[in-house]
Amino acid sequence: MARILLLAVLAAVFMIGASALDLDPRVTTMDTAESVNCDGTLRSLFTCLPAVEGNDPEPPSTDCCNAVMNVNTDCLCNAIGQGDAESFPGMNVNAALQLPKECGRVVPKGFECAGYIVPSSYP
């Protein structure tokens, strides 16, 4: 159950980065959660668990970054809104918030999703 909560929070964090797609012409736009099946969102982000667990998480893997780059933004925000990252002791919220930037996903300054501000990928 704790892993499901962690995945939900992680998914929501990535969703923030995906929302930037509509704001940057260099990136393709994504469909909204209403027009996309979000069932696979959490499964696709499972490879990111080592990058967001504990005090010294591993760098995100190529598979994790592929998931971060391809996941639907609205699906991610919906998922993060369903869980509280601080209630899961193994979750490193700071590491999770850095994943979009570390994986090269465009995130505008000040982008907020489910109460979290994701670090910008812009200089």
Q: Is residue 121 part of a domain?
A: no
Residue entry with tokens 């109460």: 115
> What is the number of domains present in the chain?
1
Q: Is residue 114 part of a domain?
A: no
Query: Phi and psi for 73 in degrees, rounded to 5?
Result: -60, -45
Q: Over its length of 123 residues, how does the chain's per-residue pLDDT go in tens digits?
A: 555 555 555 554 554 444 444 444 334 334 444 456 777 777 888 899 899 889 999 999 999 999 988 887 777 666 666 655 555 567 787 888 788 889 998 877 777 777 777 777 665
Q: Is residue 112 part of a domain?
A: no
What's the pLDDT at 4?
A: 52
What's the pLDDT at 96?
A: 82
Q: Is residue 92 part of a domain?
A: yes
Range of the domain at 100: 2-106
The four Cα atoms 51, 62, 119, 11 give a dihedral, to 10 degrees, of: -70
Supply the DSSP string of the chain, one letter for each residue.
Answer: -HHHHHHHHHHHHHHHHHHGGGG-TTS-----GGGS--TTHHHHTGGGGGGTBSSSPPPPPHHHHHHHHHS-HHHHHHHHTTS-GGG-TTB-HHHHHHHHHHTT----TT-EETTEEPPPS--
pLDDT digits (tens, 9 = 90+) for 43-60: 888 899 899 889 999 999
Q: Could you tell me the CATH number of the domain that includes residue 36? A: 1.10.110.10
